[in-house]
Amino acid sequence: ISTSIAVGMAAALTGFLARYQNVLYYFQECCRPEWISCNKTGLKNDLNMKLYGQHVAAQVILKAVTGFMNNENPKKPLVLSLHGWTGTGKNFVSQIIAENIYEKGMTSNFVHLFTATAHFPHEAHIDTYKTQLQEWIRGNVSICPRSLFIFDEMDKMHPGLIDSIKPYLDFYDNLNGVSYRQAIFIFLRSVALYFSKSVIKANGH
């Protein structure tokens, strides 16, 4: 009898813990669809209503982001390169994307923003920056494959630092046991004022 009671209590406890953990998912951010999913309607509306004068860019971004997020097994990470002078909406676009994928938007634990002049200010420390950046990306993608990395001021970033993250952007099943194919990388670059409009590139297209 005691054995039966013990087995029954263990089963009940296991069931309770499983239900308790599922409840926690709704209150504590985690790498699950409850917290990370693409709001296509919201993304479309925000791009069309808030991104003034960038209709072509809005269409390209919407197609790239929604197509990627709807693919559970993409062949490579989503890479968006947004070029334009100050005021064309590059930073605003990255914010819109984050807000329509992550429940907590830019404050999500899975959204990572790097600014060249703030995070990598000293050229003499480039080797240290490269190691730290690679470890940060690797560690966070290991925790959540659907992580978002935003790199601002790419025009001010050391070429060696850019080269250090290129392997994460290509067609690899995994690198040292970590797959980056579900991650998103957004690169923001300012260009000279004589350009007539911003240039949007999605995965090299």
- 3-state class (DSSP) for residue 159: helix
87 pLDDT tier (thresholds 50, 70, 90): low
Looking at the fold, whether 44 and 3 belong to one and the same domain comes out as: no
CATH code (residue 110): 3.40.50.300
Residue 204 clears pLDDT 80, i.e. is over it: no
Average pLDDT, the chain: 84
Q: Give the Cα separation of 33 and 21 in Å (integer).
A: 15
Looking at the fold, whether 24 and 42 belong to one and the same domain comes out as: no
Looking at the fold, whether 66 and 126 belong to one and the same domain comes out as: yes
Looking at the fold, whether 17 and 71 belong to one and the same domain comes out as: no
Looking at the fold, whether 75 and 171 belong to one and the same domain comes out as: yes
HEC readout, 53-105:
CCHHHHHHHHHHHHHHHCCCCCCCCEEEEEECCCCCCHHHHHHHHHHCCECCH
* Domain that residue 11 falls in: 1-30
In this prediction, residue 194 carries a pLDDT of 37
Looking at the fold, whether 126 and 162 belong to one and the same domain comes out as: yes
5 pLDDT tier (thresholds 50, 70, 90): low
End-to-end CA distance of the chain: 69
Across 117-134, average pLDDT: 95
In this prediction, residue 20 carries a pLDDT of 47
Looking at the fold, whether 117 and 184 belong to one and the same domain comes out as: yes
Looking at the fold, whether 69 and 53 belong to one and the same domain comes out as: yes
Angle between helices 40-50 and 90-99 (to 10 degrees): 160
CA 149, chain centre distance (Å): 5
pTM above threshold 0.85: no
Looking at the fold, whether 93 and 141 belong to one and the same domain comes out as: yes
Looking at the fold, whether 91 and 20 belong to one and the same domain comes out as: no
Q: Nearest-CA neighbor of 182 among 193, 191, 173, 190?
A: 173
Q: What percent of the chain has pLDDT over 70?
A: 78
97 pLDDT tier (thresholds 50, 70, 90): very high
Instruction: Please give the tally of structural domains in the chain.
Output: 2
Across 173-178, average pLDDT: 89
In this prediction, residue 83 carries a pLDDT of 83
Looking at the fold, whether 41 and 25 belong to one and the same domain comes out as: no
